[in-house]
Structure 1
């Protein structure tokens, strides 16, 4: 793991906060910002732009989870949440709020590095999966648009499906555009004419 991580630590207890920051520094992470109040996390995250947010709270409530949603920045960064006790509803809510690592029984100084590395790795996997899902959705939408454009050409010019696609592809190459862009323009024009 790189030592260039920007870490934001949220801990209301000053002594515990100092202990966590020291533990992070001891394992080589020096770009650490401490935050004693979770209520100001949104502004701090915006100003500091951390790579990971470490939150150590005894018993988080619904307001805390809302603040955690701000901390994760809609999936822009990893969030590790350490709690003393939990229940199924809290666990589920924390994961929906964007928590990458959810650790019960509080923060152990000796495990801090491995937990944060795991949170970062899990965050990267989830982000990759989301990126692949988004790409698949875009590809499906593009395919639907191309199929609509082919259908329009087939009806208007009495072409086969293969001929319609070849015409789309040739037009795209002649204009230096992507097939999806030509298909989208054709679908838009066809919608205007109908």
Structure 2
């Protein structure tokens, strides 16, 4: 299955070259537009797998839209630009750009650039998901530790007894250990 690409380019001639290079590399162009003012709506409507933006220097509004896409509709974004300013490049990457290409557009480079951007995006999403899961696990562990502390203090249990009490209660009520811990904490307030 080929990836669906949304292509944004204000320059018709350059856009045609990029569209042909993408098609030759096996990608489907699902939307080609010269208007970058509706990026968020276009992404929501067309659901591309990859977004390719080719323009001299996308403005602040475009960067903000890319940031919002990264938050709400994460997609690999490839930006071909003439802007070489390191601060601007940093802003683009913070806005969610997976690949920032400065040295012009050459047909033979398009496929590897897209493949690297997609792979880099997937790796980043995996890391982000793992980080989110780790944060949840840490927060759950803190709640369980707090509940054990309450049991140790109020019921004069040792740490192992407190944990076994929480665990057995969770099992007998067919619920998660952290939910039992939350309930115990809320009853103590």
Q: Say whether the fold is shared (TM-score over 0.5).
A: yes
- Number of equivalenced pairs: 189
Q: C-alpha distance in 2, partners of 1:22/1:133?
A: 38
Structure 1 equivalent of residue 61 of structure 2: 63
Cα distance, 1:67 vs. partner?
2.6
TM-score in terms of structure 1 length:
0.92
Residue 97 of structure 2 aligns to a residue whose secondary structure is coil
Cα distance, 1:33 vs. partner?
1.2
Residue 27 of structure 2 aligns to a residue whose secondary structure is coil
Structure 2: unaligned runs, 5 residues or longer = none
Report runs of 4+ in structure 1 exceeding 3 Å deviation. 70-75
Structure 2 residue 98 is matched with structure 1 residue 100: yes
Structure 1: unaligned runs, 5 residues or longer = none
Q: C-alpha distance in 2, partners of 1:117/1:129?
A: 18
Structure 1 equivalent of residue 12 of structure 2: 14
Q: C-alpha distance in 2, partners of 1:47/1:61?
A: 22
| Match of residue 165, structure 1, among 163, 173, 178 | 163
Residue 176 of structure 1 aligns to a residue whose secondary structure is coil
Distance 1:153 1:173, change over 3 A: same
Provide the alpha-carbon RMSD of the alignment.
1.4
Q: C-alpha distance in 2, partners of 1:25/1:46?
A: 22
Q: C-alpha distance in 1, partners of 2:97/2:141?
A: 34
Structure 2 equivalent of residue 123 of structure 1: 121
